[in-house]
Structure 1
Amino acid sequence: MPRNRSIVLLSVGHACVDVYQGAVASLVPFFVAERAYTYAAASGIVLAASLLSSVAQPVFGALTDRRAVPWLLPVSTVLGGLGVALSGLSGSYPLTLLFVAVSGIGVAAYHPESARVARLAGRGSHSAMGWFSFGGNVGFAVAPLMVATVVATGGLRLTPLLVAPALVGSVLCLPVLRALEKTAAAGPGAAAVKGTDDKVSFVKLSLAVVCRSIVFVGLSTFISLYARQRTGGGTTAGTAALFVLYLGGAAGTVLGSRLANRWDRVTVVRMSYLITVGAVAGTIFVPGPSIYLFIALTSVGLYVPFSLQVTLAQDYLPSRVGTASGVTLGLTVSAGGLAGPLIGSIADAASLRTALAPLILMPALSWLLYRGMPEPATPNHLGGPTPATRLDDQSSEGLPYERRLARKINL
């Protein structure tokens, strides 16, 4: 299968999974309206999905470092959709938390393995990883529109209809996995670049992503409610704000991969975080419809680093690509989920603006963490075998993940 087609299928499949990450935050206003949840209770729903998902992702990443588990892609996609689909059927708060947690597990199982498959299918290309990440951002952007279309018309009882993208996504990944199986059977495969782990830079990168996640999760949880306050609009104004936040992320991901082809990734990420400081301040303090402009700038600024940080993490830990992917995409996001209830509690006690104001400091801290970080050696495009890792060896022991994946895929 041509590389571009594989990446397109993986990107669309990624959208079908990440639509459920966006759907949880998109459901918050409806939970508040139908069930009279407080800000703290509503943010607890987002925490249930993001915390379990984020903690589990490094576990799945470590698992995929040991053995290829391609069946996780279709299974986890369905699981992510099923949890969200069931979340609106019960008025019980504990059951709602349970269902969104199930969705979070599905998302957790999907990302480390899919990032590895995308690395293999894209042969290490930064642009390919950018387009793969772009699909996830589109899923986020579509989520508020999908939820509003379904739930606003018939209430939370219609959430089972939201399982449809999961069914589509689970089917789309199958041709890519079959193509990789055929590639393995044909002989030549993709070689991973070995190198020395830079654990210090990886830790600093992870802390920077923690700060980023606090901003993004905090805004995605409350921006629809905040935009309605600042503009005096109704549900449409809030949905539009969340849509802009997610759509800007899709644009930022593509822009980041393009900028990385001109400048090094560390420089692009550092400058993006610096610009984001002003954008977040504008989102919180500028009144009226202008808030949408600053939401868009904030989204682009937060997502320019997104795919670049995934490849940076993989290059800082070349011997443990799955773990690097799981931590970058998962564990660090839990900090944003943990901050959600705190933001909600402050909002209940004071105001949403007071609660959101500290978010301005987060991208500034990310910028500081990136100062002095080295640009790791750019990997080869994983397109050719190396003498040390021949596929015609009888044993898979010692082979890089991408070679083992190509050999072991068997649906």
Structure 2
Amino acid sequence: MRRKASITLLSVGHACVDVYQGAVASLIPFLVAERGYGYAAAAGVVLAASLLSSVAQPLFGALTDRRPVPFLLPAATLLAGLGIALSATGGSYALTLVCVAVSGAGVAAYHPESARVARLAGGGSHSAMGWFALGGNVGFALAPLLVTAVVGTGGLGWTPLLVLPALVGAALNLTALRAPEQRRHLAGTAPPAGADDTASFLRLSLAVVCRSVVFTGLSSFLSLYAAQRLGGGTAAGTAALFVLYLGGAAGSVLGGRLAGRWDRVTVCRWSYLLSVAAVAGVVWVPGPALYLCVALTSAGLYVPFSLQVTLGQDYLPSRVGTAGGVTLGLTVSVGGLASPLIGRVADATSLRTALAPLVLMPVLSWLLLRTLPEPAGPGGRAEAPAAVAQRAVPKS
């Protein structure tokens, strides 16, 4: 299977998985409306989706470092979809928490191996990884539209219909993985090249955690916040969430292109500086300009997204599965741990007051990246993609 065809299938499959990450936040307004949840209870749903995923992703990353497990891609896709499909079928808060946690486990199983497979399929190209990340962001963007179309029409009792993207995604991932030449390529092993730079990897991971706190905090409460600020109820909130996720899609592609001109660390630093002003605009700029600030925030947070994945793999060339699990999964999920705190502050004060501290998070990311070195290894601009692909295969 040609490289572009493989990346296309994997990217669309990624979209079908990340629909379920976006679906958790998209379900919040409906859970608040139909079940009367407060901010803290709503944040608990986000936490349940993030907590198990946070714990499991490094474990799955370590597994993929020992041996390739591409079958996780379709299996994890189905698990993620099943959890969300069952999350609101009963009236029990505990059952909702369990189901979204199961979905989070599916997401956790998917991302480390998918990052390895996508980098191999793309030959180590930054642009290919950008397109793969774009797929996930498109899934995020489609989540509020899908949830609103289904749950807004039939109520929470219609959530089982949300399993459909998982069925499509599993089929696409199987198609990509079952091509004979792709099976031979993904099953190969090669010794890692270069020494691990654990200190730089830890600093990068902390920067991604700060980014995740911003993105997860906004995605959890932006729909409610936009409805308060602009009026228009659920429609205004859904539109704001859609802009947040769609801007991420554009940012991912732009990040891959910018990395072709400047090194990845520089691109990430400037993106986080942009995010500081954009997040401040989301919190304090009045009127419909909120949507513009949301779009700039999303682009600023997502330009570094795929670049941080390849940076992490280059800092840990002997453990690319673990690196992918952390940068693509764990640090993203950890952001959900801050959601209950934001919810409690919002219950005690106001949603604007609770969101205001998020402005500081991109500043911390910039500080962590300010002196971070650009790796000289596989992802370096001077090295050929073929060399990247050879080195990106984890040890057996």
Alignment of 1:367-378 (within 5 A): 367-378=366-377
Taking structure 2 as the reference length, what is the TM-score of the superposition? 0.95
1:248 Cα deviation (Å)?
0.3
* Whole-Å separation in 1 of the counterparts to 2:247 and 2:122: 24
* Whole-Å separation in 1 of the counterparts to 2:355 and 2:185: 55
Aligned to 2:7: 7
Aligned to 1:136: 136
* Whole-Å separation in 2 of the counterparts to 1:55 and 1:40: 22
Q: Secondary structure at the match of 1:257?
A: helix
Aligned to 1:383: 386
Aligned to 2:345: 346
- Do structure 1's residue 167 and structure 2's residue 167 form an aligned pair? yes
- Do structure 1's residue 41 and structure 2's residue 32 form an aligned pair? no
Alignment of 1:75-86 (within 5 A): 75-86=75-86
**Aligned in 2, Cα 1:186/1:126: closer, same or farther, shift over 3 Å?**
closer
Q: Secondary structure at the match of 1:288?
A: coil
Contact 1:205 1:369 in 2 (8 A): yes
1:51 Cα deviation (Å)?
1.6
Alignment of 1:195-344 (within 5 A): 195-344=194-343
1:232 Cα deviation (Å)?
1.9
* Whole-Å separation in 1 of the counterparts to 2:114 and 2:192: 19
Aligned to 1:365: 364
1:89 Cα deviation (Å)?
0.3
**Aligned in 2, Cα 1:273/1:298: closer, same or farther, shift over 3 Å?**
same
Contact 1:266 1:374 in 2 (8 A): yes
- Shifted more, 369-378 versus 5-14: the winner is 369-378
Query: Which amino acid is 1:75 matched to?
Result: A
* Whole-Å separation in 1 of the counterparts to 2:304 and 2:213: 15
1:183 Cα deviation (Å)?
5.0
**Aligned in 2, Cα 1:123/1:285: closer, same or farther, shift over 3 Å?**
same
* Whole-Å separation in 1 of the counterparts to 2:160 and 2:183: 39
- Do structure 1's residue 150 and structure 2's residue 153 form an aligned pair? no
* Whole-Å separation in 2 of the counterparts to 1:90 and 1:216: 29
Query: Which amino acid is 1:64 matched to?
Result: T
Aligned to 1:102: 102
1:71 Cα deviation (Å)?
1.1
Contact 1:13 1:169 in 2 (8 A): yes
1:88 Cα deviation (Å)?
1.2
- Shifted more, 170-179 versus 1-10: the winner is 170-179
- Shifted more, 137-146 versus 53-62: the winner is 53-62
1:188 Cα deviation (Å)?
11
Contact 2:65 2:395 in 1 (8 A): no
* Whole-Å separation in 2 of the counterparts to 1:12 and 1:69: 19
Q: Secondary structure at the match of 2:139?
A: helix
1:121 Cα deviation (Å)?
0.5
Contact 1:65 1:401 in 2 (8 A): no
* Whole-Å separation in 2 of the counterparts to 1:187 and 1:141: 30
Query: Which amino acid is 1:174 matched to?
Result: L
- Residues 286-339 of structure 1 deviation map (CA, whole Å, 9 limit, x = unaligned): 111110000000000000000000000000000100000011122212331111
Structure possessing the higher radius of gyration over alpha carbons: 1
2:393 to 378, 395, 402: 402
* Whole-Å separation in 1 of the counterparts to 2:17 and 2:153: 23
1:382 Cα deviation (Å)?
5.5
1:402 Cα deviation (Å)?
2.3
* Whole-Å separation in 1 of the counterparts to 2:34 and 2:158: 13
- Shifted more, 193-202 versus 304-313: the winner is 193-202
* Whole-Å separation in 2 of the counterparts to 1:105 and 1:211: 22
- Structure 1 gaps of 5+ residues are 390-399, 406-411
Contact 1:191 1:385 in 2 (8 A): no
* Whole-Å separation in 2 of the counterparts to 1:128 and 1:378: 18
**Aligned in 2, Cα 1:314/1:34: closer, same or farther, shift over 3 Å?**
same
* Whole-Å separation in 2 of the counterparts to 1:103 and 1:34: 22
* Whole-Å separation in 2 of the counterparts to 1:276 and 1:186: 39
1:54 Cα deviation (Å)?
2.0
- Structure 2 gaps of 5+ residues are none
**Aligned in 2, Cα 1:364/1:77: closer, same or farther, shift over 3 Å?**
same
Taking structure 1 as the reference length, what is the TM-score of the superposition? 0.92
**Aligned in 2, Cα 1:239/1:385: closer, same or farther, shift over 3 Å?**
closer
**Aligned in 2, Cα 1:193/1:122: closer, same or farther, shift over 3 Å?**
farther
Aligned to 1:25: 25
* Whole-Å separation in 1 of the counterparts to 2:371 and 2:385: 28
Query: Which amino acid is 1:329 matched to?
Result: L
1:404 Cα deviation (Å)?
6.6
Q: Secondary structure at the match of 1:319?
A: coil
* Whole-Å separation in 2 of the counterparts to 1:368 and 1:155: 45
Q: What RMSD over aligned residues (CA atoms) do the two structures have, in Å? A: 2.0
Aligned to 1:125: 125
Number of equivalent positions: 392
Contact 1:7 1:122 in 2 (8 A): yes
Contact 1:55 1:334 in 2 (8 A): no
Contact 1:190 1:384 in 2 (8 A): no
* Whole-Å separation in 1 of the counterparts to 2:345 and 2:268: 30
**Aligned in 2, Cα 1:50/1:68: closer, same or farther, shift over 3 Å?**
same
Query: Which amino acid is 1:120 matched to?
Result: L
* Whole-Å separation in 2 of the counterparts to 1:252 and 1:349: 35
